[in-house]
Amino acid sequence: MQRPDWLIEESAEVYHAKSREHLSSHQLGDFRKCPYLYWKKHSGLIVDKDSPAYAFGRAAHTLILEGRETFENEYAVGGPTNPKTGNPFGSSTKAYAQWLAESGKESAVTNDEAITLEMMERAVLVHPEAPALITDGFAEGVIRTEYCGVPCQIRMDYYQPVLGLVDLKTCDDLTWFESDARRFGYLHQVAFYRSVLRQATAIDAAAHIIAVEKKEPFRCGVWRIAPEALDFAQ
């Protein structure tokens, strides 16, 4: 399927580098929480720090949304073992850095993380509704446009031309996901995606969230967000 002209393909690094000039959903989340927090981050006085949870989430997005070939091209699996102890070297050690450099990859997951990722991928693929939402579309597509007089940008997890935009979330317990969605502002995030997409293309897309657990039994759920809920968040 041919990529639409308005859907930009670029790396996450390039996208985040442009966040100084373009408003994103995460920046809006900071502003809703505290305008002072937003200002300090935008001024460079607070720098977002990466975390193992964020890194794992990115790996899950790559495998589930972009496919195994892309995942294997971008991620090394495993790591060097200390011959004296039989334990893996830590990710901050020189031995680990050398191993990663020799792998030719920029990122890595442990063997245990790789197994977990495969279980999560399987949970999504065997769900009765989820596979159609992430097939015959475009992963990590970027849109930039002016919305409400402000230069904005979005990076959609997945855009399916017929079924709409899709956001993938990982979670600890699917039972409480709807509560977590409210607590973390997921509806506001997706509403912003929908608004920017509509502004740039005049497409009034449906919106879905796929959530998958990061531990047994690796349950997967799919929500189609009611337009009224998105209107309220917007």
Q: What is the mean pLDDT of residues 111-131?
A: 98
**What's residue 17's pLDDT?**
92
Burial class (CB in 10 A: 0-12, 13-18, 19+), 177: buried
- Residues written for the chain: 234
Mean pLDDT of all residues belonging to the chain: 95
86 has a pLDDT exceeding 90: no
Binned at pLDDT 50, 70 and 90, residue 29 comes out as very high
Q: What are phi and psi of 166, to 5 degrees?
A: -130, 135
1 has a pLDDT exceeding 80: no
Q: What is the mean pLDDT of residues 225-231?
A: 97
**What's residue 24's pLDDT?**
97
